[in-house]
Amino acid sequence: MENKKLVKVVGGKRGADEMDIHVDQMQDRVKLNESEDQFAYVERYEMKELLSGIMSIQQTSANFMIRLDHQGNTLDSLKKDIHGKNGIENRLQLVQEQANDVTYDVTELTENQCKMQREVDRMRDYIIRLEQKIHSQNEKINELSSKSMESNVIISGVQDSRDENLGMVLNSVFKKELELTETQMNEIRISKFNRMGQFSEKQKSPRPILVQFSDSTHRDAIMRAVYKLKEKKSPIRISQQLPDAKREQRVRLYEVQSAYAKKNIASVIKRDRLIFSNGTAYRDKTGGRPQAAEILVPDEDTKDFACGDIVEDNGVVQEGSEDDDEYSAGRAILRMLRDNNTTNAMVLVSRWYASKIGSKRFVHYGNTGLSAVNRLGK
């Protein structure tokens, strides 16, 4: 009986040991399970972070794809704008074609301009030659007119009436106004005479009388007695008949003579010259009507205008001007000097061609010359 209890006791202790072992194993298992749970928790956390990163990458990829699609649409639109109908490429091609057309037109216009310039040059040369011929013909005509008029005189200021006896009128003028003797009257031979123009009751002045003598000697006999008209202060004037060109020249000489007379400088007109009391002759350097060659031939870049007004010891004034082919430019400066009583001066004005200033340029010429003289005077 004791053996049986011992066994049981032993058996009981063994069972307890087994239980302890089982408990330890269970604890180990619990610890192992707890360790496994912690590892799984970490693993799940890391997996969650990984999944979150993957989702973020996917979202970024999706946004990038959307942007790529947008860029693709933009590129497609640009391609349409460049290569499509009425796109940039077509418009550039159209502009290039238009530029080619313009270049062709410009080339054609340049060629036409060159042709026109050659025509203008030929026309200019023709006009210059034609004017030279006309000038030569006019000189011949004036010479012939002068010869045909050299025995003629024009009498103005003689009272006019419709039924007058012109022969008796001329006799009265020669006898009473010129105080010619019967002998002188008988020696004078007149070829013909007549009033110039038609009579009118409304005319303001008497018509001039044209008298043609048989030769110039008889005309000279009349002209030698003309001074008596001035002495008597008669309204009658007798002058030699001249062609228009020479008459205009004579009018200019009378104007110059009148200007000198205001300065108490005596002078006399002999033929086509103004002679001073010391025997010197006035030289007109103011120029005449511009010629075609002066107008049509291109000007240089500058023009020089000069004038001078010199008073000699005997009181005679020597003056003149140079236009440098610009009609009356030098005369404008000379006139300015006269108006301001400037003497003993030589003035040179240069003009540089930069723009057109019109007719007022002549005022500028005169003012510039006068300003230079005034500055030197100071």
Please state the domain extents for the chain. 20-50, 244-284, 290-378
In the CATH hierarchy, which top-level class contains the domain 290-378? alpha beta
**pLDDT of amino acid 155:** 92
Taking all residues of the chain, what is their mean pLDDT, rounded to a whole number? 77
**Local confidence band at 355 (pLDDT 50, 70, 90 cut-offs):** low
Q: What is the pLDDT of residues 26-68, one digit of tens each?
A: 666 656 566 666 667 777 777 888 888 888 888 888 888 888 8
Q: Nearest Cα to 338, choosing from 374, 376, 366? A: 366
336-368 as b/e, with b when 16 or more CB fall inside 10 Å? Answer: bbeeeebeebebebebeeeeeeeeeebeebbeb
Burial class (CB in 10 A: 0-12, 13-18, 19+), 334: buried
**Local confidence band at 194 (pLDDT 50, 70, 90 cut-offs):** very high
Is the model's pLDDT at 188 over the cut of 60? yes
**pLDDT of amino acid 2:** 42
**pLDDT of amino acid 4:** 43
**pLDDT of amino acid 304:** 63
Is the model's pLDDT at 108 over the cut of 80? yes
107-112: average pLDDT: 88
Percent pLDDT > 90 in the chain is 6
Give CA–CA dist 137/139, Å, rounded. 5
